[in-house]
Amino acid sequence: MSIMINILKYRNSNKTPIGLDMGHASIKMIQMEEAEDRLAVYAADSVEFDPDIKADQRREFIVKTIREMVEKGNFRGREVVVSISNSDLKLKNLRVDSIEEEELQTLIHQEVAAQLGLDPEKDEIRYLVAGKVHHSGELKNEVIFMGAGSDTIKANIDMLIEAGVSPVGIDPVSNALQRSFVRSLRRQSDQTQVNFYIDIGSLYTTVLIGSNRQIHFIKQIPIAGDRFNTEVASELDISIGEAAILRSKIQQGQNESINAATKQAVVDAMTLSIEELAHEVSLCSRYYAVTFRGKRPERVFLAVGEAYENALSIALKKKLDMEMEISSPLKGLDISRTGKVLDPESPLCEWSVATGLSLKGCDLIQYTQENHERN
């Protein structure tokens, strides 16, 4: 049960596995079709969680929802590549002399596992090599270790099997996020261009710095949409669900019936958390600059629904001094088969993770992160 299982090579269909993004606020499923050296979206579906759902009701809802999405949708097959929750994933950066497999495995057993709070004999720990760095006058290798408890992975797999699907791969959000950009950043200049990728979810914001060939930095920040909703709900004395709907209407411009005072109260309620998140992201930029001393990131791509939060975009642009761009993971793809699920007028940035998951193992995607998807 590897965190980064490679897609089984016996797949002879021209359909990719279903990318299953099990977020805290929604469940998204998308499947691609490979035809004549081109990709198209074969099927897609999305279901939102009730923001007020109880913790003990989530598993039953997920199982029921996934089963219905697969049975009623136009998906081909039952194989899925699923994201692992940020709350279940543990990260640790270390600078090491050697990146030989044997020596890194020794390091995992002697040092990394304990720092992650995991058992190296039972739990899953993988790594990726982020690049060369200067440390105390010496050239070292920056390595990002990722780990998750085997009990947690097994529980998720059991839940998926109960829902009637077959998990053939499990990926961290960061890896899926980067992969979603590989298809669109294909010019020669894009191969080495360093970018910020910021996935603003419900519970966590995932910050990724790298090119489409290399991940250099990953950070999980526990400030995201749920906190914004909670703060708006508290300020306006409404439920969290009502706060989420209100913010969504404002983001989408459906705010004719919302007065200016209410709009300002929504922004004011989120201001401190938005500033805190922007500050944390700016610290990621500083760490990258000091550690790698290479190309400065040129663009910031925002993903997931919170990318539409204008106040957040303004705060991030001010802190990072870079242009913000809402990601368009399905740009240029035929989405006509999906009916009303995918709006062709929208950037569809909330589909970035699901898209990256569906493209894992896709023959049309060149993906060469060193030691990124080691079995």
* Top CATH class, 187-327: alpha beta
CA-based torsion, 296, 301, 302, 304: positive or negative: negative
pLDDT band at 187 (very low <50, low <70, confident <90, very high): low
- 159-163, 185-189, 313-317, 369-373: least confident range: 369-373
What is the predicted pLDDT for the residue at 9? Answer: 41
Among 200, 177, 349, which Cα is nearest to 277's? 200
Could you state, in order of their start, the residue ranges of all structural domains in the chain? 1-87+149-184+341-375, 89-148, 187-327
Among 93, 315, 254, 81, which Cα is nearest to 176's? 81
Contact by Cβ (8 Å): 115, 92: yes
DSSP-assigned states of every residue in 157-173: HHHHHHTT-EEEEEEEH
Burial class (CB in 10 A: 0-12, 13-18, 19+), 310: exposed
Question: Helix, strand, or coil here: 114?
Answer: helix
Q: Per the structure block, which two tokens stand in for 40?
A: 């198209």
348 pLDDT more than 80: yes
What is the predicted pLDDT for the residue at 191? Answer: 57
pLDDT band at 194 (very low <50, low <70, confident <90, very high): confident
- The answer for residues whose C-beta is within 8 angstroms of residue 73's C-beta and 6 or more apart is 29, 43, 45
* Top CATH class, 89-148: alpha beta
288 pLDDT more than 50: yes
Is residue 371 left, alpha or beta, with left meaning phi > 0 and alpha meaning psi from -120 to 50? left
- 46-50, 178-182, 202-206, 276-280: least confident range: 178-182
CA-based torsion, 53, 201, 84, 69: positive or negative: positive
Average pLDDT over residues 336-355: 91
3 pLDDT more than 70: no
255: how many CB neighbours lie within 10 A of its CB?
15
Higher per-residue confidence, 16 vs 192:
16
What is the predicted pLDDT for the residue at 257? Answer: 79
Say how far apart CA 118 and CA 171 lie, in whole Å: 18
285 pLDDT more than 60: yes
What is the predicted pLDDT for the residue at 374? Answer: 39
What is the predicted pLDDT for the residue at 252? Answer: 79
Mean pLDDT for all residues in the chain: 87
**Given this chain, do its domains 1-87+149-184+341-375 and 187-327 carry the same CATH topology?**
yes
Say how far apart CA 25 and CA 316 lie, in whole Å: 23
Say how far apart CA 305 and CA 82 lie, in whole Å: 19
DSSP-assigned states of every residue in 308-360: G-HHHHHHHHHHH-S-EEE--TTTTSB-GGGTTSS-TTS--GGGHHHHHHHTT
184 pLDDT more than 80: no
What's the CATH code, domain 1-87+149-184+341-375?
A: 3.30.420.40
pTM summary value: 0.87
What is the predicted pLDDT for the residue at 4? Answer: 42
From residue 307, how far is each of 37, 312, 348, 351 by CA, in Å? 31, 8, 10, 12
What is the predicted pLDDT for the residue at 239? Answer: 92
Q: Per the structure block, which two tokens stand in for 231?
A: 């703060």
Higher per-residue confidence, 129 vs 12:
129
Say how far apart CA 111 and CA 109 lie, in whole Å: 6
Average pLDDT over residues 214-237: 94
Q: What are phi and psi of 372, to 5 degrees?
A: -75, -45
pLDDT band at 56 (very low <50, low <70, confident <90, very high): confident
Higher per-residue confidence, 345 vs 108:
108
Average pLDDT over residues 44-63: 89
127 pLDDT more than 60: yes
pLDDT band at 292 (very low <50, low <70, confident <90, very high): confident
What is the predicted pLDDT for the residue at 55? Answer: 82
Q: Per the structure block, which two tokens stand in for 195?
A: 């970018």
Find the helix or strand (DSSP H, E) in which 68 lies. Answer: helix 58-72
What is the predicted pLDDT for the residue at 214? Answer: 84
Q: What are phi and psi of 330, to 5 degrees?
A: -110, 15
Average pLDDT over residues 282-287: 92
Higher per-residue confidence, 41 vs 299:
41
Contact by Cβ (8 Å): 162, 350: no
Average pLDDT over residues 208-221: 88
- Residues above pLDDT 70, as percent of the chain: 90
